[in-house]
Amino acid sequence: MTDAQENRRQVLYWRLLARLFDNEEQHALESASVAVVEDIGLPPAVLDPQTGVDSIVQRHPGLAAEFDGLMVPEAEGERDKAAEVRRAALVSKVLLNVFATGAGTVSAGQLSRWQADAAWLERALGCRPGQLRGGRGGREAGPTGTGMGAGTPDLSTLIPRIGPELAALEADLVKRMHLREVLADPALAGRLTPSMSLIEQLLRDKDNLSGVALANAKSLIRRFVDEVAEVLRTQVEKATVGALDRSIPPKRVFRNLDLDRTIWKNLTNWSPEEERLYVDRLHYRHTARKTSPQRLIAVVDQSGSMVDSMVNCTILASIFAGLPKVDVHLIAYDTQALDLTPWVSDPFETLLRTNLGGGTDGTVAMALAQPKIAEPRNTVVVWISDFYEWQCEPLFESMAAIHRSGAKFIPVGSVNSSGSGSVNPWFRERFKDLGTPVLSGHIRKLVHELKTFLTS
């Protein structure tokens, strides 16, 4: 019986490979797979690549729990061959629906279904929907699905590799869709789910849109911005600006009363006979903070390779701009630089003013950034780019000068959810020698660095 189960499992995986790499159906594998699926009690739709996982789960709600954490490695133990066959059928379904994207024009419905199936793959890997593709994902960087139990092997070696692949597949589907025609039809536009790939295409094409199409594009961008902002705001919300100023006496109001300290300091006044504590002095907490304003200057490369970073940083800048005593300035550049500071509080309006693509010349951005550094000790400069520049030497010397002036200089190679991105090795080595290594990876790293500086 064990050999039979192993053969069934192999049939399902051979069918998956055949479907992924050959458009022609292998009749023997198809008929054998149908027999296996029927025998283990799964619906025939599991083998139909035209049926989305959502449709299957709606008709068979009990399968939702099986798809969650489906591909998270299990703790080692005795193998259950029958369970492995069932798992193989469900894994094949998710992988085939996500990676067999076909060719030709893509409709809004097809993109929507692919996004839903990709979300199921992310859930199968123990992540939140949208987390691996970037942008709207969960609040944590690591796998957090229901299948992540104690002692579960680390998926960090897999997730950084598959995240960019999923984003690339989604980007290809968006490019194959007649986006302008879809946006012109409110019913079709309503079926689109905002994603980083879709937002990139909308930002690139926004100057060619008008009327209903432009209104629908703006609505999608606004929805995406709001969703990402909600996640980032949660990460920033505990930030308070300025250390406690103990030179200012605490305000003597009830909400500042330090009850524990008051009791401790008056313990000598305890009366055993009366079982009563007499308080002759109240103690209050210090709440006043030093009022030195902090200045955050964010410089963002808006060339084609940095779209994810541009979107995330624009939203992050707007959140920090809402904190007290933080003066935020935002500069975007390619071969020209644009000061977006007047709109920094509204990331939606800021993104509509960007022009994605083009070359990269950081010296034009530096010309705008340097005059903004009035008090170096109270200034942090965040420079987000892949640092593939036309004028490397003069730009680096200007950055080193900012660092030597006493300002906090943070070079960032990528600010996205997948953590992918390349950085010019010439700059990487020089930043390391300067003592300001390039920060790359999940956007939470940048949030942590900024909170550390602004609250110190």
The per-residue pLDDT of the chain, averaged, comes to 82
pLDDT of residue 291: 47
Residue 399: how many other CB atoms lie within 10 Å:
24
Query: Torsion over CA of 366, 369, 375 and 379, rounded to 10 degrees?
Result: -100
pLDDT band of residue 148 (cuts 50, 70, 90) is very low
Q: What angle do CA 362, 368, 373 make, to 5 degrees?
A: 110
Residue 100: name the closest of 178, 17, 197 by CA.
17
Residue 142: name the closest of 159, 119, 161 by CA.
159
pLDDT of residue 272: 87
pLDDT band of residue 42 (cuts 50, 70, 90) is very high
**Lowest mean pLDDT across 71-80, 87-96, 410-419:** 410-419
Sign of CA dihedral 392, 343, 240, 295: positive
Position 158 pLDDT exceeds 80: no
Position 144 pLDDT exceeds 50: no
Position 171 pLDDT exceeds 60: yes
Q: Which CATH number fits domain 294-454: 3.40.1280.10, 3.40.50.300, 1.10.645.10, 3.40.50.410?
A: 3.40.50.410
User: Under a CB-based contact definition with an 8 Å cutoff, are residues 238 and 450 in contact?
Assistant: no
pLDDT of residue 288: 56
Q: Beta strand pairing status for 294-301 and 379-384?
A: parallel
pLDDT of residue 416: 55
Domain-wise residue ranges, the chain: 2-143+154-230, 244-288, 294-454
How far is the C-alpha of 404 from the C-alpha of 420, rounded, in Å? Answer: 30
pLDDT of residue 360: 84
pLDDT of residue 75: 65
Residue 343: name the closest of 328, 365, 325 by CA.
328
Collapsed DSSP state (helix, strand, coil) of residue 68 = coil
pTM of the model: 0.64
pLDDT band of residue 159 (cuts 50, 70, 90) is low
Residue 252: how many other CB atoms lie within 10 Å:
10
Higher-confidence residue: 196 or 182? 182
DSSP string, 25-53: --HHHHHHHHHHHHHTT--GGGG-TTS-H
Q: What pLDDT, in 10s, does the model give residues 288-323?
A: 555 456 889 999 988 766 777 788 888 888 888 887
**Mean pLDDT in residue range 386-406:** 93
